[in-house]
């Protein structure tokens, strides 16, 4: 049984499990079906906030319950209450539960000197935030604590995902580059010299770990990320390659300007990189595809969504977190103040370059960005 089956991760999980021979029941609030699922996939309607409805969907029981929409201790208690009818569980968590050795984590990023300094790469042994109800991170930590405490009553694999990407995302970070290209913006600005690294996690790779964990029940925590860790500049170059466009990149020294200029959904002062060796060791995990190999599917889905509606209507969650993600006037004003002139429009030659404006504005002149191989 997959709870949250019509969401971003759930769709891929149902596909992977059905392809592996499981009899799958896809549970969602609307009880819908993805057109790509095999005909034998059953559907059920249940709101996971409704204890009775979820219990009714479980019915006489299931061998594995996959929950991609569990967020706190109450949801953990809900799952544990079904332990007599569930063989094991696989539950999605997040790398946001980690904190550094000074007690800094995702929740302290906005504070002076509050950005966490994690080990690179970071293993599952890294300390985590104190469970609570104050934030997404503390609720996920509470979820983990309660499910791990259940032990053999409900063996649960917790998957700590990175920056999740793929079609049907409510928070598609790739939109930062895709929309600029669709809008004909030939220049973009990246903070931290485009070197930010926030480990990504493809829904296909997450689904593969769900598949493997379903075959080997146990109480464990595993990082869940892609095989490579691209920088923000490399992600932009890879998306350009998929879309067949040319751009210039302004690389800023340090943080974004005016809170929005140069800020991307991957912008971090220090790297967030997860160690994937435990998943390889414990489950024999091998990634299904790389970040760049996953991009054509994502770019196509985003382009089709934007063709029908404004980006804020299409992705309200993203607009809520990044309301100024496409503040082109602010970008142009900053570049003009540094002597760069207006956005040049699409250049005549197909090449990607890094664009320097001078150290007076905290912008460093750099060499050309190299192309990345992309599966089309």
SS3 319: helix
Instruction: Give dist(CA 202, CA 220) in Å, integer.
Output: 21
The per-residue pLDDT for 19 is 96
In this prediction the pTM is 0.91
End-to-end CA distance of the chain: 33
Cβ(268)–Cβ(196) under 8 Å? yes
Q: What is the per-residue pLDDT across 324-337, written as a single tens digit (0 to 9) for each?
A: 999 999 999 998 88
Residue-by-residue pLDDT tens, the chain, 376 positions: 999 999 999 999 999 999 999 999 999 999 999 999 999 999 999 998 999 999 999 999 999 999 999 999 999 999 999 999 999 999 999 999 999 999 999 999 989 999 999 999 999 999 999 999 999 999 999 999 999 999 999 999 999 999 999 999 999 999 999 999 999 998 999 999 999 999 999 999 999 999 999 999 999 999 999 999 999 999 999 999 999 999 999 999 999 998 799 999 999 999 999 999 999 999 999 999 999 999 999 999 999 999 989 999 999 999 999 999 999 999 999 988 887 767 766 654 444 444 444 434 555 433 333 333 333 2
Specify if 73 maps to a domain: no
Q: 324 is in which domain, residue-wise?
A: 172-197+230-268+290-376
Cβ(46)–Cβ(67) under 8 Å? no
Specify if 43 maps to a domain: no
Comparing CA positions, the residue from 66, 375, 24, 10 lying closest to residue 203 is: 10
The per-residue pLDDT for 308 is 84
The per-residue pLDDT for 278 is 98
Specify if 44 maps to a domain: no
Specify if 176 maps to a domain: yes
Q: How many domains does the chain have?
A: 1
The per-residue pLDDT for 259 is 77
Encode 241-282 in three state secondary structure: HHHCCCCEEEEECCCCECCCECCCCCCCCCCECECCHHHHHH
Burial of 269 (0-12, 13-18, 19+ CB in 10 A): middle
The per-residue pLDDT for 372 is 35
The per-residue pLDDT for 52 is 95
DSSP per-residue string spanning 111-151: STT-S----SSB-TTS-BPPP-SSSHHHHHHHHHHHHHHHG
Specify if 351 maps to a domain: yes
Specify if 185 maps to a domain: yes
The per-residue pLDDT for 219 is 97
Specify if 339 maps to a domain: yes
Instruction: Give dist(CA 156, CA 91) in Å, integer.
Output: 7
Instruction: Give dist(CA 146, CA 239) in Å, integer.
Output: 40
Specify if 276 maps to a domain: no
């Amino acid at each position: 049984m997959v709870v949250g089956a019509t969401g971003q991760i759930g769709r891929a999980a149902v596909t992977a499990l059905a392809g592996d021979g499981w009899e799958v029941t896809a549970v969602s609030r609307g009880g819908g079906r993805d057109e790509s699922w095999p005909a034998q996939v059953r559907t059920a309607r249940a709101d996971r906030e409704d204890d009775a409805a979820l219990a009714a969907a479980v019915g006489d029981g299931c061998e594995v319950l996959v929950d991609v929409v569990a967020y706190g201790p109450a949801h953990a208690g809900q799952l544990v209450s079904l332990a007599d009818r569930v063989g094991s569980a696989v539950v999605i968590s997040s790398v946001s539960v980690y904190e550094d050795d000074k007690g800094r984590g995702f929740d302290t990023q906005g504070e002076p000197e509050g950005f966490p300094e994690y080990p690179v790469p970071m293993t599952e042994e890294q300390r985590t935030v104190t469970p609570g109800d104050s934030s997404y991170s503390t609720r996920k930590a509470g979820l983990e604590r309660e499910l791990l405490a259940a032990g053999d009553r409900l063996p649960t694999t917790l998957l700590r995902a990175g920056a999740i990407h793929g079609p049907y995302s409510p928070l598609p970070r790739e939109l930062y580059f895709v929309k600029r290209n669709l809008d004909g913006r030939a220049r973009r600005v990246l903070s931290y010299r485009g070197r930010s690294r926030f480990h990504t996690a493809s829904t296909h790779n997450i689904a593969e770990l769900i598949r493997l964990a379903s075959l080997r029940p146990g109480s464990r925590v595993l990082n869940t990320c892609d095989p490579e860790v691209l920088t923000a500049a490399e992600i932009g170059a890879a998306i350009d390659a998929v879309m067949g466009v040319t751009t210039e990149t302004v690389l800023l020294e340090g943080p974004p300007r005016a809170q929005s200029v140069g800020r991307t959904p991957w912008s971090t002062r220090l790297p967030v990189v997860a160690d994937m060796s435990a998943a390889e060791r414990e489950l024999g995990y091998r990634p299904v595809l790389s970040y760049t190999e996953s991009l054509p599917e994502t770019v196509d889905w985003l382009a089709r969504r934007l063709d029908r509606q404004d980006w804020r209507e299409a992705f309200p969650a993203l607009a809520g977190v990044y309301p100024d993600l496409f503040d082109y006037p602010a970008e142009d004003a900053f570049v003009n103040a540094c002597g760069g002139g207006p956005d040049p429009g699409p250049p005549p030659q197909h090449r990607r370059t890094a664009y320097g404006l001078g150290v007076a504005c905290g912008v460093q002149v750099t060499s050309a960005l190299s192309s990345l191989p992309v599966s089309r």
